[in-house]
Structure 1
Amino acid sequence: MNRLWVDDLRPAPDGWTWAKSSAEAIEMLDAGEFAAISFDHDLGGDDTTRPVVLWLCENDRWPPEVRVHTANPVGREWLTGMARRYGPGVR
């Protein structure tokens, strides 16, 4: 099963599918299932991964493994908090 890497700048590691915007990530999640997702927070301009997390919450489509690779400390806190509260937690 695929793993989804959501980041506008850092290329996806080998074996991961790369989404560079929140809209692209939501489209990919809506089209299929993923075994893991890894979040950056800031995706350029006003875009962040917050809409992706909210979509996961609203649709109850969390993958079994959630990672956060952002360098933004406030974004990291929000992402990990949401994944712990509404999803499987963060690895």
Structure 2
Amino acid sequence: MLTAWRAGIPVIAWDGRTPRDPSFVQQLRQKQAEPSGNLARLREAVTELRLDAHTIGSAEGEHHLGQHVVLVWDDPTRPVEPLGRMTGPDDGVGGR
């Protein structure tokens, strides 16, 4: 994933199942139903997959792609934080 970020790729989707399903991309595209590459539609498709996984029976839902799909989205319209000392999750508000 770090390689993708460094390359400037703003969206990453992956299958969290082990072993990975070779039809993962096909399943996403089928749900997206729009091969235009519209990234906004990809976000909607992932949301729909997750909802689908929760509405079917628990045994089938456990293996449903919607339970395992991960979408990392770097929103290009998000304002950049002002420069300053960055804090880690253990530093709390305002640092230590």
TM norm structure 1: 0.28
Structure with higher RCO (Cα < 8 A, 6+ apart): 2
TM norm structure 2: 0.27
Larger radius of gyration: 2
